[in-house]
Structure 1
Amino acid sequence: MMVLVETKNIDSFVHKVVEEHSFVVSAKGTSGGLVIMWNDGVKVRFLGNPTLNATDMYIEEDCNVFCLTYIYGHI
């Protein structure tokens, strides 16, 4: 599992770099952008639509399952 924050690139460039198992949140101009990538044997189920600021997901690999929450921004 890999999360890249502030990719700051247009989607066409990001899609050239990322693997097939990924989710991309578009950058706005030259700021923001998020890419979540995972291995072939991993199943990911998002709880809601991922955003740059927060993402909740269930991750499953073989018989292991866990919840991952990603938070980014000002508190």
Structure 2
Amino acid sequence: MKKCKSAQCCDNGYNAQNGALFGMVVVPLHQVYHALTQQIPENILAHVLSEWAAFAMGGAALFAAASAVCNLFSRSK
């Protein structure tokens, strides 16, 4: 593995894990939004679990992609 100046930029797995955790933290905030706007779905359990999975996977993909782009630009220097 190449030597990196910034360890946060290099480790895609670590960044994907942080992205998944970030996504999981955002879900309760999104549920508070649902409660404040009174847009509560009928099957709340399925709704919350599906959003939790989607936000976690989306966050992981987003952070891993950002890490890959960071690694790509750091190699070109």
Q: Same fold (TM over 0.5)?
A: no
Coarse TM-score class (shorter-chain normalised): under 0.3
Higher relative contact order (CA 8 A, sep 6+): 2
Higher relative helix content: 2
The TM-score with structure 1 as length reference comes to: 0.23
Give the structure with higher Rg (CA).
2
The TM-score with structure 2 as length reference comes to: 0.23
Higher relative strand content: 1
